[in-house]
Amino acid sequence: MMNTAVVSNILKYTVNRCLRAQNVIKVTAVPIFKRDIHTTKPNNDLMEFFDIKKNWGETNIRVGRGWKLDELRIKSNSDLHKLWYVLLKERNMLYTMEHECKRQMRLFPNPERIDKIQESMDNIETVIRERNVAYYKLETGETGERPVEDVVNLFGLLEKYEKKEHFIPKFMNTRWVKPYLEHGFINSAAVKKFVRLYKEKQYNVERKARNRDFNQVQHLLKRFPNMDLENLKAEYPNVDIEKAKRSKKARGHFMPKY
């Protein structure tokens, strides 16, 4: 009986020690968190805002092109999310390097990198908007985007306005009532004069552009009488090719085929 009691006590003592050791290991163990998106190195210091050191002082850095819409449309939303943060980090780095080059009065190499990244980010937003519109049309029959309409601004010109909710109606909103009443700002004589002069300026700009294209077509017909008229019409759709052929400026010292 004594031997059985001693053995049982030894077993109990051994089991308790093992359980305590396991608890200590669990408490002292460092938890490991898994991240689905990795956009930076583990050392998050200020050097993440600068380019790699081998590119410092370089005048020309070989870079690729931006992401196209067709390439982004075949990617999942998770991949687009990751790519967005990678491009955002790269853009912040380029802005920092550009500012540092200006501070040190040095030439910033390949400034078109910023434009390529901005183009890629704009294309990502376009793809996301296309998917949202397709989803809302499938579920509700509407685009899901905020409705936009043309409204007259304080200068009497049309501009795009995104509709949104307001706390008070129009007739109680003084910011809306003063400009848009019958005798408001947009109906004043100054605004009407500005609109008239603005339309006159726009007409003169369009008229000069038409005359410039017409003269260009005349010179082309004079220098190259055998050129393809269909391609010329596609290049200058607002020009009357038949009228340009009959003009004196289009005639050369040779006999054209037309």
For residue range 125-173, list pLDDT tens digits in order.
999 999 999 999 988 888 888 888 898 888 888 899 888 888 888 778 8
Q: With bands split at pLDDT 50, 70 and 90, how would you rate the model's confidence at 212?
A: very high
Q: What is the distance between the alpha carbons of residues 228 and 91, in angstroms, rounded to a whole number?
A: 46
Q: Are 188 and 181 in contact (CB under 8 A)?
A: no
Instruction: Supply the DSSP symbol for 106.
Output: -
Q: Is 128 exposed, middle or buried (0-12, 13-18, 19+ CB in 10 A)?
A: middle
Who's near 127: CB < 8 A, 6+ residues apart?
69, 72, 73, 80
Query: What are the helix (H) ranges across the chain?
Result: 2-28, 69-73, 77-103, 112-139, 174-180, 189-223, 229-235, 241-246
Q: Are 58 and 109 in contact (CB under 8 A)?
A: yes
Q: What percentage of the chain reaches a pLDDT higher than 70?
A: 74
What is the helix (H) or strand (E) element at residue 159, kind and residue range? strand 158-162
In angstroms, how far is CA 100 from the centroid of its own chain? 25
pLDDT of residue 42 exceeding 70, the answer is: no
The full set of domain ranges for the chain reads 46-139, 151-246
Tokens representing residue 44 in the block: 């998050």
Q: Can you tell me the mean pLDDT for 71-83?
A: 93
DSSP 49-82: GS--GGGTT-S------PPPHHHHHTS-HHHHHH
Q: What is the distance between the alpha carbons of residues 40 and 86, in angstroms, rounded to a whole number?
A: 9
Lowest mean pLDDT among 17-26, 134-143, 177-186, 221-230: 17-26
Tell me what the pLDDT averaged over the chain comes to. Answer: 80
pLDDT of residue 62 exceeding 70, the answer is: yes
Across 46-65, b (16+ Cβ under 10 Å) vs e yields: eeeeebeeeeeeeeeeeeee
